[in-house]
Amino acid sequence: MFDTPVSPVAGAGWFAVGTAVMGLAALYVAVRGRGVEDPRARGVHVVAALVPAVACGAYLAMALGVGVAEVAVRGGTLRLHWARYADWLFTTPLLLIGLGLFVGADGETLFGAVAADVFMIVTGVAATLSGVPTYRYVWWGVSTVAFLCVLYFVVVALGREARDRDEATRSTFAALRVLIGASWTVYPVWWLVGTGLGLVSPTAEAAGFLLLDTVAKVGFGLLVLRSPALAGADADAPE
């Protein structure tokens, strides 16, 4: 079992960079969140730290090869970065919950968004694992419809709730909405370019997803950390 030398997976260098970036980001947010006592601010800080922490584990798994599997499917063998989808399965709902907590969204709206989001990632895995090209695009389409529901939640439903909040919450929410709307939209496009059509190498694809993950995950953390809405909620929080 162990007599064949393990060759590094394509993109291993980028996965190592991802491990370091996400690990440092998680540590930074965790340190900044020490002593925060206001329940809303605390919840948002926990989410902002957990998201890069989960990603750090996923990137480490991919860097070491265990997070990447060759899967036999009808029609041949496919490479599945399962750790990436496992990461998204946790971190995208977490980001939505963090955003919902920040705005003070009601539970039912949030539940609907998280359900659509989980469906989006699971059908994204189906797209990646389909051996028949047409089926890959069918699943991609199904996943993208779910993504549009998630976007509706972020832009329209939460936007409506945010209107009644204080000025500080509204302005941070406006920035988060642009960040999420813009960065999340690139994921399905980049999947098409890489995994779908194979227009870029696996290494370039890994670099692109790392860039997107950094903007989406670390960007979220930085925006909420510097939000006056949360700083004001907890006067004892260290600077």
Tokens of 43: 């919840």
List, in sequence order, every residue forming a beta bridge with 78; answer none if it has no partner: 71
Tokens of 233: 């909620």
* CB nearer ligand RET, residue 51 or residue 157: 51
Tell me the residue number closest to ligand RET, measured at CB: 124
| Residue 153 interacting with ligand RET (CB under 6 A) | no
| Residue 143 interacting with ligand RET (CB under 6 A) | yes
* CB nearer ligand RET, residue 129 or residue 231: 129
Tokens of 86: 């496992």
| Dihedral angle over CA of 34, 37, 42, 43, nearest 10 | 150
- Residues 118, 97 contacting (CB under 8 angstroms): no
- Residues 80, 205 contacting (CB under 8 angstroms): no
Q: Which of 57, 188, 194, 208 binds ligand RET (CB under 6 A)?
A: 188
DSSP string of 187-210?
A: HHHHHIIIIIT--S-HHHHHHHHH
Q: Of 35-54, which residues contact ligand RET (CB under 6 A)?
A: 51
Shortest spacing between CB 232 and ligand RET, in angstroms: 27
* CB nearer ligand RET, residue 155 or residue 168: 155
Count interface residues toward ligand RET (CB under 6 A): 20
Shortest spacing between CB 126 and ligand RET, in angstroms: 9
**Piece of the chain touching ligand RET by CB under 6 A; list 25-33, 73-81, 120-128, 225-233:** 120-128
| Residue 130 interacting with ligand RET (CB under 6 A) | no
Q: Which of 22, 63, 89, 144 binds ligand RET (CB under 6 A)?
A: 144
DSSP string of 26-94?
A: HHHHHHHTTT--SHHHHHHHHHHHHHHHHHHHHHHHHHTTTT-EEEEETTEEEEE-HHHHHHHHHHHHH
| CA distances to 32, 123, 200, 213 from 126, in Å | 38, 5, 21, 21
Shortest spacing between CB 172 and ligand RET, in angstroms: 18
Q: Which residues bind ligand RET (CB under 6 A)?
A: 51, 88, 91-92, 95, 120-121, 124, 127, 140, 143-144, 147, 184, 187-188, 191, 213, 216-217
